[in-house]
A = this chain, B = another copy of it.
């Protein structure tokens, strides 16, 4: 192995894909881009930029936030990574290897844990709704908000703080 091909020990087997994408686009394959991509490719779950940054630090890499943001933009554009917005006020990123793209999420409103769920029916539903509106569907995202099993077991209850039946009860 040459130094160029194995600059990163235990690099993700998917890293070459990103290299190829960069070359296809005429973009330089820099060390920073490779390391950032590798962190994302070798992590599971939904990473925030802050989490990516701290994993880089664990590896002894000192890469500026701006570079991380710029690299994430390219990764998303490449189709190798997807970004999510769960309403935390910042984006989260997830690589698309190793499983069918899962876009169904159970989000706990109490502990903010996000659980991935797989279901083929949503795919079908997406097609049906899109067709009905002349819409060309590319991807979907289903979020179900509520309480996870752990929080329920911990005694947390789901309280609806609003009015019981607004429309029927004009005083």
A-to-B contact residues, CB < 8 Å: 13-14, 16-17, 20-21, 24, 77-80, 85, 87, 96-97, 104, 106, 108-109, 115, 117, 119, 121-122, 125-126, 129-130, 132-149, 152, 158, 160-163, 166-167, 169-171
Contact = CB atoms under 8 A, between A and B. Distances in A.
A136 B109 CA distance: 10
A133 B117 contact: yes
26 contacts: A14-B167, A16-B171, A21-B163, A77-B161, A77-B162, A78-B161, A79-B160, A79-B162, A85-B85, A97-B166, A97-B167, A106-B137, A115-B133, A117-B133, A119-B129, A121-B125, A130-B144, A134-B148, A135-B149, A136-B158, A137-B145, A138-B145, A138-B158, A138-B160, A139-B144, A140-B142
